[in-house]
Amino acid sequence: MMAFDLVPLFPELFLAVTGMAHLIIGVWRGNHSTHFIFWASAATYVAAALILMGVSWGDAIVLNGMFKFDNFAGFMKLIILLGLLASAALSVKYLDDEGVSRFEYPVLMTFAGIGMMLMVSANNLLALYMALELQSLSLYVLAAFRRGSLQSAEAGVKYFSLGALSSGMILFGISLIYGYTGTLDYGTLSATLLPMQSIPVGITFGLVFLLAGLAFKISAVPFHMWTPDVYQGAPTSVTAFFAIVPKIAAMGLIMRLLFEPFAPVSGQWDQIVWFLSAASMMVGAFAAIVQENIKRLLAYSSIGNMGYALIGIAAVSSTGAGAVVLYLLIYLIMTSGVFAVVLSMRRNGKAVENISDLAGLSQTQPMLAYTMAILMFSMSGIPPMAGFFGKLVIFQAAVDAQMYVLAVLGVVTSVVAAYYYLRIIKVMFFDTPAPAFDGALPFARRAVLTLSVVFVLGFVLRPSLAIVIAKNAAGALFAG
Amino acid sequence: MEFIAVFAPLIGFIITGIFGTKMGKWPSIVITCGAMFAAAAASIYLFYAVNLQHAPYTTVLANWLTSGELSVNWALRIDQLTVVMMCVINIVSTCVHVYSVGYMSHDDHQIRFMSYLNLFTFAMLMLVTADNLLQLFFGWEGVGLASYLLIGFWHHKHSANAAAQKAFVVNRVGDLTLALGMMGCFAVFGSINFDVIFAEASKYADTDFVLFGQHLHAMTAICLLLFIGSMGKSAQILLHTWLPDAMEGPTPVSALIHAATMVTAGVFLLARLSPLFEYAPEIRVMITLVGTATAFIAATIGMTQFDIKRVIAYSTMSQLGYMFFALGVSAYSAAIFHLMTHAFFKALLFLSAGSVIHALSDEQDMRKMGGLWKKIPFTYIMMWTGALALAGIPPFAGFYSKDIVMEAAYASSNWSGQLAFWMSLAAVFMTSFYSWRLIIMTFHGKPRSSEEVMDHVHESPSVMLVPLFILAMGAVFSGAFFYEPFVGGEKAAAHGEMSAGHEEAGHHQPEVVPHESGGEDTVWARQSFWGDSILVLDENDSLQAAHHAPKWVKFSPLAVGLLGIIMAYLIYMTGPGVPDKIRRAVPALHALSFNKWYFDEIYDFLFVRRAFGLGRIFTKADRKIIDRFGPDGGATASGATAKLFSRFQTGFIYQYAFVMMIAVISLLSWFVFRAGQGG
């Protein structure tokens, strides 16, 4: 414990050093180097993943108890790096097309990535806050990245001010908890809470504030209001990034927080998570129905998906946690594929974002339409696509934990949600064709799309593989 | 080696399926055919390594899924039965691939066609190499899908689409019971792996299911379900109506799928599961009866059809009937033997018919043929070869396989075997009758098609004739050559041929049967050939008895077959008015046969119209009752909810912040309230 062992931190350190090196190169060479920095960053993510796989995956607590590495952290970090890689691959060409190809973009992604990786390893409420802010500040800038656009600027401001409010809540919650327990360390916290006969109301209040702030980060209802506006306003590649990666890191953070230090008070937070999950599923399903803009639609879709993932947390079991990890992995891969299609929606050099713009895609670009259809089937949870298995394990965990209300609500809302996913397929295949989209897909985007579809279709061949890995990863949270 | 034999077609399918149109026609053809050549070569090697060396093995590729007690692997079970099937599939498929290069050369979608053929072959290989019922089911559905795609290949033809759908729907009935049978196996054995099932079959021979208070003999129930499943795929009577219609597909498809391989999947399934069927004697009687009925009825229908492909289709159905009653009397290896020879000569007949159709610019009606033999002599000879093999004239392959099947039926201790023998003897007569009716109507007499068409008649290109020749070799020699190992009689001093593996696992194997005259050294050649892949209980071993059947039993099929040829010659060659006179003499019988025993009409009346009527009732109920209160009502409510939610989405930051604070305060209030409740 006292040893100043930095080995578990190597991936983060590596990212930080190369991120800053990229920043220096960027400042030196200007925006010409954007492409180089993009690919260098992508290579960095791969290298970081390799380093991550190289370090020992045993449990380790370093930095005076601030940072914890275990199977769960390792696996979540791998998923995060995968998401970063996918987002980087999706962004390059889009930024060129939009004329906002600036070198800060990949650098900010890298810094946000470091924040996210620290989030899932946080073992102290302060470390949690620091990591969260590192991630959030990078994201605020990215949301407003297209400075010239009023929408993008508005999205940035909205996200920033509401994000500041949520950070305030988190800090207030932390201070309440500190006041009642006298500690910020996860281990000590758990040891303090365990013998308590009755939970002081201050701790409950602290937990409510803390969870409310974190619910904002995963855009769980009713802290989701920013999501549709920011998703719509931000540049699409940033939206893709928002939808793919930070959600996963924040879920990882919440899981560690609830299952480790606050495990003794699961009776308290269980109700909050139950409420967030039910509300998110309902709003995600119903509000999406009337959306015409595909980015807004995907915003509600991500809200709904977080609702399903929260079911697994509300189950308070290692099966449930494993289900959440698997669900997040499948969600990440499906969403990357969907955004690869959305980013390709350009007509006459301008991005188009309405669902009606997809009309008759099956005739103008059949391959794109079929891949999108497969992804939509998967999103709506139709077997044998991967999305079906994600939902299946979640509902199984809910039934195991005898949370029949949530399980039934989940099934009902996924039927409602199927309506808007299938509507996209209907528009693509049965409506009179709109003019064709511009040109072919760039290589990187095509690669992301292909891999995503292959995963979605191929999952059924070896479902047990991913299920077992996810379960083992989540098992680390319940080990001690 | 087994990887090449199984996965080469898959690779061919993937490459040509994705890049086919980009690569162009010739590279696609080279890839698909090359994959098949590799697969065929690999399976012939396996035949040497596994069957001749008596060394079956199983390769596990990966764990597929594990759920509770159910654990299923992707695996290749390479045993004697599998390898025989692989050889048949890959060799016939290779011939059909090469033939299609010529036959489909005028079609714009030849690449798609070739890649579908690859897909089909892979699915079929998956079916025969399965080591558990689920993987078998995967292959089973895969061949169904490929068959559907290929029957409806010319999707601009309405009849082709209808036929494809019919095949799909009828096969669903069988697939349903197959799936139920699989679940039954799991319920009894707690596993769907063949190894486990076979090892424990004898243990559960007397187990009962209790269903709604009724006791059902478990083996009988499972075998019944599995048998109905195989009836669908193998076009046995009652579930056969799709097969003749399937002839709407291109002719190479008919040859490969609807004659040589896919339709024999049912035969394979029953042979594979012989350790189960051995404990279900009632079901084997039923199989015998169904097979006999199929053989007989299909042969009667075949006598009066005019479409050249339909005649051969009914002949296929009839031959499948033979295989089934062979299975019914426990002569599994005879059934597989007939399956193999049949694959060769039936593919030959179909491809020759295809060559005729090709020559006559897509004419299939035999009434518009005639007088072709001088113009296409090679096809003519091939057709004779196929027909001689089909009719069972020595030394052609059909003679050996059909005779052993019928002898086994005669020698079977069961009354159903006797019935099968006599009925199939009648079918033999009809078989040779309609075969020569086909040859005479097609090739002899005066040309009945227009001058213009006759001028175009030409022999097919050699790319179509070479596969015919290879299949003809099979149709001539495969019977005599494989008779001994497949179904052969006793062989003295065969100790050396028995492999170590065979002896080790010998406890499932029926005890080596000492022949009355022979000593303890006697071993049946077929037992050392098939090893453990086929199980026959001693008391059921009809093949053993078959070798001691009276002489007249052995010769009667030949005599009856020759009689059929002579009758066909007399009726169709001597006088043109004779067929008409016969038709008028027995109008009822002719109508019954010509209208295919009215199966389609009866089904239409019983099921199709009922289903439509029911559908209409449901449509009305759906619109009037369910829609109003269900989906439509729900949709309206959903729309309203959606609007409500979106009304909150104003875009003003202060409102969003307000909602967040309200939410936090509500949560806090909830906890305060609960604390007040004393919770």
Structure confidence by residue, pLDDT tens digits, B524-568: 667 778 877 888 887 777 777 888 888 888 888 888 888 888 888
Q: How far apart are CA B385 and CA B380, in angstroms?
A: 9
Among candidates B230, B376, B392, which has minimal Cα distance to B315?
A: B392
Q: How far apart are CA B121 and CA B481, in angstroms?
A: 26
Kind of pairing between the strands at B214-217 and B208-211: antiparallel
Among candidates B88, B163, B89, which has minimal Cα distance to B120?
A: B89
Contacts with B74 from chain A: Cβ below 8 Å: 461
Q: pLDDT category, B449, cuts 50, 70, 90?
A: confident
- Tell me B60's DSSP state: E
Contact A462 B63 (CB under 8 A): yes
Q: How far apart are CA B272 and CA B279, in angstroms?
A: 14
What is the length of chain B?
679
B40 CA: distance to closest CA in chain A (Å):
27
pLDDT of residue A118: 95
Asked if B66 has any chain A CB less than 8 Å from its own CB, the reply is: yes
Q: How far apart are CA B501 and CA B49, in angstroms?
A: 14
Structure token digits, residue B385: 């070869």
pLDDT of residue A3: 55
Picking from B65, B651, B675, the nearest residue to A463 by CB comes out as B65
Q: pLDDT category, A100, cuts 50, 70, 90?
A: confident
Is the model's pLDDT at A313 over the cut of 90?
Answer: yes
Is the model's pLDDT at B500 over the cut of 70?
Answer: no
Q: pLDDT category, B486, cuts 50, 70, 90?
A: confident
Asked if B633 has any chain A CB less than 8 Å from its own CB, the reply is: no
CB contacts < 8 A, A to B, total: 82
pLDDT single digits (tens) B243-257: 888 888 888 888 888
pLDDT of residue B453: 77
Helix (H, G, I), strand (E, B) or coil at B78: strand
- Tell me the C-alpha to C-alpha distance, in Å, between residue B406 and each of A325, B276, B365, B525, B546: 62, 23, 33, 20, 9
Q: pLDDT category, B625, cuts 50, 70, 90?
A: low
> What ipTM, to 2 d.p.?
0.85
Q: How far apart are CA A54 and CA A358, in angstroms?
A: 44
Across residues B202-215, what is the average pLDDT?
A: 74
Q: pLDDT category, B122, cuts 50, 70, 90?
A: very high
Which amino acid, A12? E
pLDDT of residue B269: 92
Q: pLDDT category, A480, cuts 50, 70, 90?
A: low
Across residues A466-478, what is the average pLDDT?
A: 88
Q: How far apart are CA B594 and CA B244, in angstroms?
A: 13
Q: How far apart are CA A137 and CA B618, in angstroms?
A: 58
Q: Which residues contact A220 (CB under 8 A, 6 or more apart)?
A: A276, A277, A279, A280, A303, A306, A307, A310
What is the length of chain A?
480
Is the model's pLDDT at B18 over the cut of 50?
Answer: yes
A221 CA: distance to closest CA in chain B (Å):
9
Contact B651 A275 (CB under 8 A): no
pLDDT of residue A1: 46
Q: pLDDT category, B590, cuts 50, 70, 90?
A: confident
Asked if B653 has any chain A CB less than 8 Å from its own CB, the reply is: yes
Q: pLDDT category, B303, cuts 50, 70, 90?
A: confident
pLDDT of residue B514: 40
Contacts with B677 from chain A: Cβ below 8 Å: none
Is the model's pLDDT at A429 over the cut of 80?
Answer: yes
Asked if A384 has any chain B CB less than 8 Å from its own CB, the reply is: no
Helix (H, G, I), strand (E, B) or coil at B61: strand
Q: Which residue of B has its CA nearest to A220?
A: B660
Asked if A205 has any chain B CB less than 8 Å from its own CB, the reply is: yes
Residue B242 backbone phi and psi in degrees, to 5:
-75, -30
Q: pLDDT category, B513, cuts 50, 70, 90?
A: very low
A412 CA: distance to closest CA in chain B (Å):
11
Helix (H, G, I), strand (E, B) or coil at A62: strand
Contact B668 A205 (CB under 8 A): yes
Across residues B173-178, what is the average pLDDT?
A: 88
The better pLDDT of the pair A375, B18 is held by A375
Structure token digits, residue B46: 């396996």
% of chain B surpassing 90 pLDDT: 19
% of chain A surpassing 90 pLDDT: 63
pLDDT of residue B568: 85
Helix (H, G, I), strand (E, B) or coil at B591: helix
Asked if B660 has any chain A CB less than 8 Å from its own CB, the reply is: yes
DSSP string, A426-477: HHHHHSPPPPPPSSPPPHHHHHHHHHHHHHHHHGGGSHHHHHHHHHHHHHGG
Q: How far apart are CA B85 and CA B74, in angstroms?
A: 19
Across residues B578-585, what is the average pLDDT?
A: 77
Is the model's pLDDT at B499 over the cut of 60?
Answer: no
- Tell me the C-alpha to C-alpha distance, in Å, between residue A66 and each of A9, A11, A119, A235, A239: 11, 16, 11, 35, 31
In DSSP terms, B70 is beta-bridged to B67
- Maximum alpha-carbon separation in chain B: 108
Across residues A318-324, what is the average pLDDT?
A: 92
Asked if A320 has any chain B CB less than 8 Å from its own CB, the reply is: no
Return the residue matching tokens 């129930």.
Answer: B221
Q: Cα B414 to chain center, whole Å?
A: 27
Contact B660 A162 (CB under 8 A): yes
Across residues A307-321, what is the average pLDDT?
A: 93
Q: How far apart are CA A106 and CA A94, in angstroms?
A: 13
Contacts with B645 from chain A: Cβ below 8 Å: 283, 286-287
**Which of B646, B648, B658, B677 to mutate against chain A (most A CBs within 10 Å)?**
B646
Among candidates A45, A35, A128, A40, which has minimal Cα distance to A83?
A: A45
Contact B671 A205 (CB under 8 A): yes
Q: Which helix (H) or strand (E) holds A376?
A: helix A366-379
Return the residue matching tokens 């596994």.
Answer: B50
Q: How far apart are CA B626 and CA B299, in angstroms?
A: 50
Is the model's pLDDT at A223 over the cut of 70?
Answer: yes
Q: pLDDT category, B516, cuts 50, 70, 90?
A: very low
Interface list for A 63-122 with B (CB within 8 A): none
The better pLDDT of the pair A451, B365 is held by A451
Q: How far apart are CA A295 and CA A232, in angstroms?
A: 5
Across residues A473-477, what is the average pLDDT?
A: 88
Contacts with A204 from chain B: Cβ below 8 Å: 671, 675
Asked if B645 has any chain A CB less than 8 Å from its own CB, the reply is: yes
Asked if B654 has any chain A CB less than 8 Å from its own CB, the reply is: no
pLDDT of residue A332: 95
Q: pLDDT category, B519, cuts 50, 70, 90?
A: very low
Picking from B649, B670, B672, the nearest residue to A225 by CB comes out as B649
pLDDT single digits (tens) A122-139: 999 999 999 999 999 999
Q: Which residues contact B22 (CB under 8 A, 6 or more apart)?
A: none
The better pLDDT of the pair B19, B340 is held by B340
pLDDT single digits (tens) A443-469: 899 999 999 999 999 998 888 888 888
Asked if A201 has any chain B CB less than 8 Å from its own CB, the reply is: yes
The better pLDDT of the pair B188, A135 is held by A135
- E-assigned strand segments in B383-531: 490-491, 523-524
In terms of Cβ atoms closer than 10 Å to its own Cβ (0-12, 13-18, 19+), residue A320 is buried
A229 CA: distance to closest CA in chain B (Å):
7
Helix (H, G, I), strand (E, B) or coil at B58: strand
pLDDT of residue A251: 95
Asked if B517 has any chain A CB less than 8 Å from its own CB, the reply is: no
Helical ranges in B214-272 per DSSP H:
218-233, 242-245, 251-255, 265-272
Across residues A269-287, what is the average pLDDT?
A: 91
| Average pLDDT taken over every residue of chain A | 91
Asked if A396 has any chain B CB less than 8 Å from its own CB, the reply is: no
Is the model's pLDDT at A337 over the cut of 90?
Answer: yes
Return the residue matching tokens 């025969």.
Answer: B128
Q: How far apart are CA B283 and CA B220, in angstroms?
A: 6
pLDDT of residue A386: 93
For residues A411 and A285, is the Cβ–Cβ distance under 8 A? no
Q: Cα A192 to chain center, whole Å?
A: 32
| Average pLDDT taken over every residue of chain B | 82
Q: How far apart are CA B488 and CA B490, in angstroms?
A: 7
Picking from B66, B646, B657, the nearest residue to A290 by CB comes out as B646
Across residues B625-649, what is the average pLDDT?
A: 68
pLDDT of residue B508: 40
Structure token digits, residue B626: 């369910």
Contact B642 A286 (CB under 8 A): yes
Measured from the Cβ of residue A473, the count of other Cβ atoms closer than 10 Å reads 25
In terms of Cβ atoms closer than 10 Å to its own Cβ (0-12, 13-18, 19+), residue B391 is buried
pLDDT of residue B634: 65
